[in-house]
């Protein structure tokens, strides 16, 4: 395995600066954000990907010795009004990944909140079939993060229909694989180690984020959280500051044969607010995980 992080936590920094810092700290890989401009999380500009952009990105990874583990574009591929544009940008991510020799592109299934779950699943099969086929032709795997995305639904219901093992089994039939993030299962009352053990061979990428349970909050809000769908009784932390048993989880990944990248997804509110604090948070994650990964 290799240890890396998702660059979206440093939107104000250039990819070359992020990569140099990552290599100096001992990280071995980057999962690179590629949202469309003007979103600042566009460290690879796939919406204007040409020979010059390809050369720029390849040079950064050659000079630092880092691995480009995934191109990240996490948006709602079933959005009721923006779906066509989101799907088109996802294809551009696939094309850029193929050119750069990057094995995976990460995204969400999403959800149309105006449709039933069954209707959404049928819609997803229609939306993803041609994208998965296009990616396969180009030697790229599309991976889906198991984030709940409650903020995408007006009532705070799951907005990304890939949040549970039941839905993983469905999406595997579409040719999609899992970008496994254990933090989201903690907030669903699912054991993140027991849940993933049968599916390690379907994981093509791993995101490392932790979840801290806030004492007493669930007694006020209940499992579903406060009105409006906010989490309420838990918050995301960098690995080592929450509930996830990282030693056991990484052991299960090794035992199941996973040998890819573990990419820290930094969404910790304590270690956010400016680039120095974000980097300090990434340092905490590195110290938590580095000793568990066999180099």
Domain with residue 189: its CATH number is 3.20.20.150
**The tokens 């696939």 sit on which residue?**
94
Domain boundaries, position 283: 2-292
Torsion of the alpha carbons at 117, 123, 125 and 128, rounded to the nearest 10: -120
pLDDT on residue 1: 97
pLDDT on residue 295: 66
Instruction: Note the pLDDT tens digit of each residue in 9-23.
Output: 999 999 999 999 999
State the sign of the Cα–Cα–Cα–Cα dihedral 275, 280, 286, 289: negative
Q: Is 0.85 topped by the overall pTM? A: yes
Q: Which residues contact 76 (CB under 8 A, 6 or more apart)?
A: 82, 83, 86, 108, 110, 111, 149, 152, 159, 160
Number of domains in the chain: 1
Which among 72, 93, 76, 73 has a CA at the least distance from the CA of 84?
Answer: 76
Which runs of consecutive H residues, i.e. helices, occur in the chain? 15-25, 51-64, 83-100, 117-137, 165-172, 183-186, 192-196, 217-221, 246-255, 275-289
pLDDT on residue 229: 57
Beta strands 234-237 and 210-213: pairing type? Answer: antiparallel
End-to-end CA distance of the chain: 7
pLDDT on residue 217: 87
Query: What averages of pLDDT result for each successive group of 10 residues across the chain (295 residues)?
Result: 98 98 98 97 97 98 98 98 98 98 98 97 98 98 96 91 98 98 95 98 98 91 74 92 98 97 98 97 98 88
Q: In angstroms, rounded to a whole number, what is the distance separating the alpha carbons of residues 22 and 266?
A: 14
């Amino acid at each position: 395995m290799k240890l890396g992080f998702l660059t979206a936590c440093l939107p104000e920094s250039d990819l070359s600066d992020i990569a140099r810092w990552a290599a100096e700290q001992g990280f071995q890989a980057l999962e690179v954000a590629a949202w469309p401009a003007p979103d600042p999380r566009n460290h690879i500009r796939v919406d204007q990907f040409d020979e010059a952009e390809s050369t720029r990105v390849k040079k950064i990874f050659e000079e630092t010795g880092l691995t480009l583990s995934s191109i990240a574009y996490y948006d709602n591929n079933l959005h009721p009004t923006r779906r066509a544009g989101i799907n088109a940008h996802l294809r551009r991510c696939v094309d850029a990944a193929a050119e750069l020799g990057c094995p995976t592109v990460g995204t969400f299934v999403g959800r149309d909140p105006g449709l039933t779950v069954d209707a959404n699943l049928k819609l997803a099969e229609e939306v993803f079939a041609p994208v998965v086929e296009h990616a396969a032709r180009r030697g790229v795997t599309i991976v889906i993060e198991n984030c709940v995305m409650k903020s995408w639904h007006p009532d705070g219901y799951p907005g990304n229909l890939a949040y549970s093992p039941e839905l993983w089994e469905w999406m595997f039939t579409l040719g999609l694989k899992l970008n496994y993030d254990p933090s989201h299962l903690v907030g669903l009352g699912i054991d993140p180690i027991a849940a993933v053990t049968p599916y390690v061979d379907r994981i093509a990428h791993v995101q490392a984020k932790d979840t801290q349970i806030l004492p007493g909050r669930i007694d006020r809000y209940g499992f579903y959280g406060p009105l409006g769908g906010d989490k309420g009784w838990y918050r995301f932390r960098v690995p080592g500051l929450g509930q996830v048993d990282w030693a056991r989880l990484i052991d299960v990944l090794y035992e199941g044969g996973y040998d890819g990248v573990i990419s820290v997804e930094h969404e910790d509110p304590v270690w956010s607010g400016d680039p120095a604090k974000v980097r300090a948070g990434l340092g905490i994650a590195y110290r938590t995980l580095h000793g568990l990964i066999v180099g």
